Amino acid sequence: MRQTGRLLLLGLPYLVLGVYVDLLLDYSKHLDRNLHYLRPTLPEVPEDILGFGFWFTWSIFLALSLIACAIVCTTTTKKRTYFMVFGFCFAVLSIIDFRLYNALSRQVLAQ
């Protein structure tokens, strides 16, 4: 049982990344493959489409990631390798999120 609990704790930060990826997939409701804005059938105000903005959601995911990593610190001995991989994945997702949000906000606010 102890090994299973340890594996679950090691997967905790990646669960946060999985939720972050799910948030990124929500952009497909408003952007097509060429990152062009898909106009909704019912008119929506920009606040409904853009939500709270990039920085608000990003800071929440950063805080959740830091909490999850702090919990993992108690269970692993190879902290450096684990956190380098996790940090790289989080950075790549953050860049993708930033680019998608900017593409969406420019087009929504321009209409």
Three-state secondary structure string covering the chain = CHHHHHHHHHHHHHHHHHHHHHHHHHHHHCECCCCCECCCCCCCCHHHHHCCCHHHHHHHHHHHHHHHHHHHHCCCCCHHHHHHHHHHHHHHHHHHHHHHHHHHHHHHHHC
pLDDT tens-digit readout, 39-91: 887 778 888 888 888 999 999 999 999 999 888 887 777 778 888 999 999 99
pLDDT at position 99 = 95
pLDDT at position 25 = 92
pLDDT tens-digit readout, 19-35: 999 999 988 888 998 98
pTM: 0.85
